[in-house]
């Protein structure tokens, strides 16, 4: 009982932190609100990072004006990664996944999704600070270090968003409540067998069948 209580409190705490950063965000508990909550969250995240992308393009101009041409391409890498991330967030489509249709979402999966959401929201402040660090270093002796730090942060964004997508699209493990059995069945049927379980040849398959016949009880 204590573990369940702690889990519920953790879910509520992280939800409150998200709701405090994103006006109108209602979470994913209620089925009828899930798609709207996902859209509100993604639009808020994309808008935040759009402003950061504009910061990066302005810093690129500062680099050019100060003759730091050797780092302009590095800044372009960060800008490209940010643009790719923003576009993925805005245009994400999950199809008919069990996440949006399930009557109930398992608490551990809900916690994982909220964690990804909060990570993406919080990372915006961190990356914005990294961009300002590059701007402050323009004209100094150690400009490369903050530029590379910005690239590393930008690179992690797409991977984090793909992790969030994986939680949503794992419908067989997320969907619970009425209709769960039918939702989970196709995944079990299409699961590929492990390499160790597959017969190496037709001959080995025949041997396996013969062994099964020998061990079967006589009628």
Per-residue pLDDT tens over the stretch 78-89: 999 999 999 999
pLDDT at 38: 93
192 part of a folded domain: no
Give percent of the chain with pLDDT exceeding 70: 71
97 part of a folded domain: yes
64 part of a folded domain: yes
139 part of a folded domain: yes
Between residues 180 and 109, which one has the greater pLDDT?
A: 109
- pTM of the complete model: 0.70
Phi, psi of 172 (to 5 degrees): -65, -30
Domain count, the chain: 1
197 part of a folded domain: no
With a cut of 90, say whether residue 138 has pLDDT above it: yes
With a cut of 70, say whether residue 214 has pLDDT above it: no
How sure is the predictor about 9, in pLDDT bands with cuts at 50, 70 and 90?
low
42 part of a folded domain: yes
pLDDT at 48: 96
pLDDT at 99: 81
Owning domain of residue 37: 2-183
pLDDT at 192: 34
21 part of a folded domain: yes
Listed in sequence order, the residues at least 6 apart from 198 whose beta carbon sits closer than 8 Å to its beta carbon are none
With a cut of 90, say whether residue 135 has pLDDT above it: yes
pLDDT at 83: 96
Per-residue pLDDT tens over the stretch 61-76: 999 999 989 899 999 9
Between residues 114 and 99, which one has the greater pLDDT?
A: 114
pLDDT at 36: 92
């Amino acid at each position: 009982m204590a573990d369940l209580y702690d889990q519920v409190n953790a879910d509520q705490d992280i939800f409150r932190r998200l709701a405090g950063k994103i006006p109108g965000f209602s979470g994913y508990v209620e089925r009828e609100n899930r798609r709207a909550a996902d859209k509100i969250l993604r639009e808020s995240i994309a808008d935040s990072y759009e402003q950061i992308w504009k910061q990066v393009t302005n810093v690129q101009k500062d680099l050019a004006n100060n003759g730091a041409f050797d780092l302009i391409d590095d800044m372009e890498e960060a800008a490209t990664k940010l643009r790719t991330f923003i576009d993925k967030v805005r245009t994400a489509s999950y199809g008919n996944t069990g996440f949006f249709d399930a009557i109930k979402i398992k608490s551990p999966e809900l916690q994982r999704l909220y964690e990804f959401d909060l990570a993406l929201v919080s990372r915006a402040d961190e990356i914005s600070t990294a961009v300002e660090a590059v701007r402050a270093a323009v004209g100094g002796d150690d400009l490369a270090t903050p530029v590379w730090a910005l690239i590393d942060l930008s690179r992690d964004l797409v991977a984090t968003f793909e992790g969030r997508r994986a939680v949503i699209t794992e419908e067989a493990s997320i969907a619970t409540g009425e209709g769960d059995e039918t939702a989970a069945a196709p995944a079990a049927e299409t699961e590929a067998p492990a390499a160790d379980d597959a017969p190496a040849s037709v001959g080995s398959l025949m041997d396996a069948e013969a062994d099964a016949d020998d061990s079967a009880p006589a009628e």
